[in-house]
C-alpha cells in the first residue's frame, strides 16, 4: 500500500524548519539537564545556579513563544495568500471571479492611482458604495423573506444608508491589515466591529431622536435589544465576504478610474452625502416634533412639513419606532 503522506522535497525546507527540529531535540536535552538539578534544589533552592537556571528557562520560554506567534503569523499569511490566489485562478461555470488581495496589492504598488492603499479617497468611495449596496441587499432580503419591497434607506434622498457605509468603512479599516490572513481572523473581527457599530448607532439614534430602527429584544442572546448573537454571526460572515471578495472587486474597479475624474467624483459625492445627511437630520427632527403636536416655529420647519410630510417619512423610514 502506498503511503498517503506527502513526500517532503528537501529543496524547499526552510531554515526555520531545520532549526525547529533541532529545538525539539534541545528541549529533550534541557529536560534531562534540569532534572539533574532537582537534588540541589532540595538542598538550596536559592542558590545562584538554581535561580539562574530558572530565569534562563523563563527567558527561553518567552522567546520561543514570541517566535511561535511570529511563525504562525507568517505561515497563516502565506497559506491564506496561496488559497486566495488559487481561488482567483479558478474557473468554473458558477464561479464569480474575484481578485486576490495580494494581486490588488501588487497592482496598486505598480500604479499611481488616486486611491492607492487605504487613503481618504479609498475610504470615502468604500463608504458610498457600502451605503448603496447595503440598502439593495436589504431590499432583496425583505422581498425574499416577506414577499414585498420595503424601504431600508437611512437618508431622505436616494437609496443610501450611512449605517452600511460606516460598516463598510469600519470593516475595511479594521480588517485591511489582515486582508491576506486566514478567514477566521476576518470572521472574529467582522463580528466584533459590526456588533459594536450596530450597538453604537442604535444607542445614538435613541439618545438623539428617541427612536429605534431595529429591536432584537425577541431574539435570543440579545443585548438591550440593540444587538444579538445571530446578527453578530452574520456580521462575522460579512467581514469575511467583504475583505476577501467584495473589497478586492471594489479596489480593482477603483484602479480603473482615471485620477482626475476619480478625485472630482469623490468630492462631489461627499458634498451630496453631507447635504443629504443634513436634510435627513432636519426632516427627522421636524417629524418627531410634529408627532409631539408641536407647530413649526420657523420657515425651515414649514418647509420640512411641506417637503417631508408624515406619509413620505413613513415610506422612507418604514421600520422607525418612536420610544415613549
- pLDDT tens-digit profile, the chain (324 residues): 444 455 778 888 899 999 999 999 999 999 999 999 999 999 999 999 999 999 999 999 999 999 999 999 999 999 999 999 988 887 655 556 689 999 999 999 999 999 999 999 999 999 999 999 989 988 898 888 888 888 889 999 999 999 889 889 999 999 999 999 999 999 999 999 989 988 998 898 888 878 787 889 988 999 999 999 998 999 999 899 999 999 999 999 999 999 999 999 999 999 999 999 999 999 999 998 998 889 988 999 999 999 999 999 999 998 777 765
Query: What is the number of helices (H) and of strands (E) in the chain?
Result: 12, 4
Q: How are the residues of the chain apportioned to helix, strand and coil, as percentages rounded to the nearest 5?
A: 70, 0, 25
Q: Is residue 8 assigned to a domain?
A: no
**What is the extent of the structural domain holding 82?**
15-97
Q: For the chain, what is the domain count?
A: 2
Q: Which of 68, 97, 126 is the last residue of a domain?
A: 97
Q: Is residue 121 assigned to a domain?
A: yes
Distance CA 311, CA 287 (A): 10
Q: Which of 75, 97, 119 is the last residue of a domain?
A: 97
Q: Is residue 2 assigned to a domain?
A: no
Give residues with Cβ within 8 angstroms of 202, minimum separation 6: 212, 213, 214, 225, 226, 227
Q: Is residue 88 assigned to a domain?
A: yes
Q: Is residue 4 assigned to a domain?
A: no
**Coil vs helix vs strand at 273:** helix
Pair 190, 153 in one domain: yes
> Residue 151 — left, alpha, or beta (φ > 0 → left; ψ -120 to 50 → alpha)?
beta
Q: Is residue 196 assigned to a domain?
A: yes
Pair 221, 125 in one domain: yes
Phi then psi for residue 15, to 5 deg, are -65, -35
Pair 311, 264 in one domain: yes
Query: How many CB atoms neighbour CB 20 within 10 A?
Result: 14
Amino acid at each position: 500500500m502506498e503511503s498517503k503522506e506527502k513526500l517532503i522535497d528537501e529543496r524547499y525546507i526552510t531554515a526555520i524548519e531545520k532549526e525547529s527540529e533541532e529545538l525539539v531535540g534541545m528541549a529533550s536535552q534541557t529536560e534531562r539537564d534540569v532534572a539533574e538539578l532537582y537534588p540541589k534544589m532540595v538542598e538550596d533552592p536559592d542558590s545562584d545556579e538554581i535561580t539562574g537556571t530558572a530565569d534562563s528557562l523563563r527567558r527561553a520560554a518567552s522567546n520561543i513563544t514570541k517566535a511561535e506567534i511570529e511563525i504562525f503569523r507568517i505561515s497563516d499569511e502565506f497559506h491564506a495568500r496561496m488559497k486566495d490566489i488559487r481561488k482567483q485562478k479558478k474557473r468554473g461555470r458558477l464561479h464569480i471571479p474575484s481578485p486576490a488581495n495580494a494581486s490588488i496589492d501588487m497592482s496598486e504598488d505598480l500604479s499611481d492611482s488616486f486611491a492607492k492603499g487605504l487613503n481618504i479617497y479609498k475610504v470615502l468611495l468604500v463608504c458610498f458604495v457600502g451605503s448603496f449596496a447595503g440598502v439593495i441587499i436589504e431590499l432583496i432580503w425583505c422581498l425574499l423573506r416577506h414577499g414585498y419591497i420595503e424601504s431600508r434607506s437611512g437618508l431622505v434622498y436616494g437609496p443610501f444608508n450611512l449605517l452600511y457605509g460606516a460598516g463598510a468603512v469600519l470593516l475595511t479599516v479594521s480588517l485591511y491589515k489582515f486582508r491576506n490572513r486566514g478567514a477566521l481572523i476576518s470572521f472574529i473581527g467582522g463580528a466584533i466591529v459590526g456588533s459594536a457599530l450596530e450597538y453604537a448607532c442604535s444607542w445614538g439614534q435613541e439618545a438623539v431622536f428617541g427612536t429605534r430602527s431595529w429591536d432584537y429584544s425577541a431574539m435570543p442572546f440579545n443585548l438591550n435589544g440593540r444587538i444579538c448573537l445571530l446578527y453578530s454571526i452574520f456580521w462575522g460572515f460579512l467581514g469575511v465576504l467583504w475583505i476577501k471578495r467584495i473589497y478586492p472587486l471594489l479596489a480593482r474597479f477603483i484602479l480603473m478610474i482615471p485620477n482626475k475624474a476619480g478625485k472630482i467624483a469623490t468630492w462631489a459625492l461627499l458634498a451630496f452625502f453631507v447635504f443629504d445627511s443634513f436634510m435627513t437630520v432636519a426632516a427627522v427632527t421636524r417629524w418627531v416634533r410634529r408627532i409631539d403636536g408641536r407647530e413649526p416655529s420657523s420657515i425651515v420647519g414649514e418647509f420640512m412639513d411641506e417637503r417631508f410630510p408624515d406619509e413620505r417619512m413613513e415610506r422612507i423610514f418604514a421600520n422607525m419606532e418612536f420610544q415613549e
